Homo-oligomer: A and B are copies of this chain.
Amino acid sequence: MAAKDRFHDAVKLGLQKEQWTITHDPLKIEFGEDDVVEIDLGAEQILGAEKAGKKIAVEIKSFLGESALYDFHTALGQFLNYRLVLEKSEPERILYLAVPLAAYESFFWRDLPQASLQLYQVKLIVYDPQKEAIHKWCK
């Protein structure tokens, strides 16, 4: 199995261990007033899940690239574009960015990602690909 898919499954299993029901895999979110401008964003592996009436969407990132900073730029841009779309189409669903524990420990404590996550109000899920579990939620 490709590492990317393994990470995807780890998040899925981790959420299920915390009693979330996976309702969409992938969650397809579209935007635009007519067919021409509909953009399928589902390819980026977003999960939809529910627990006790609470709905979330989870953008799963592997951070397997050569540069964590570059991966972070892309993850941030995707997150903010997805959130913009979700706020219009399904405002009750909260978007999270899921990052692996190794990237969290090696990169996310730095000044730039910390300042950026705070400024743009990015909610993080830190997951452990080995244990196939959610390590923590940063809201």
How many copies of the shown chain assemble into the complex?
Answer: 2
Contact between A33 and B76 (Cβ–Cβ < 8 Å)? no
Size class of the A contact interface (CB-based, 8 Å): 20 to 34
Give bound CA distance, A31 to B115, whole Å.
10
Q: Chain B residues near A76: list those with CB within 8 A.
A: 76-77, 80-81
* Secondary structure class of chain A's binding surface, majority of residues: helix
Binding site for B on A (CB under 8 A): 31-33, 37, 39, 41, 69-70, 72-78, 80-81, 84-85, 110-112, 115-116, 119-120
A81-B111 in contact (CB<8A) = no
Q: Report if A111-B80 is in contact (Cβ < 8 Å); known contacts: A74-B73, A74-B74.
A: no
* B74/A33 in contact, CB under 8 A: no
Q: A69-B41, A74-B73 are in contact. Are A31 and B80 (CB under 8 A)?
A: no
Contacts of A73 in B (CB 8 A): 74, 77-78, 81
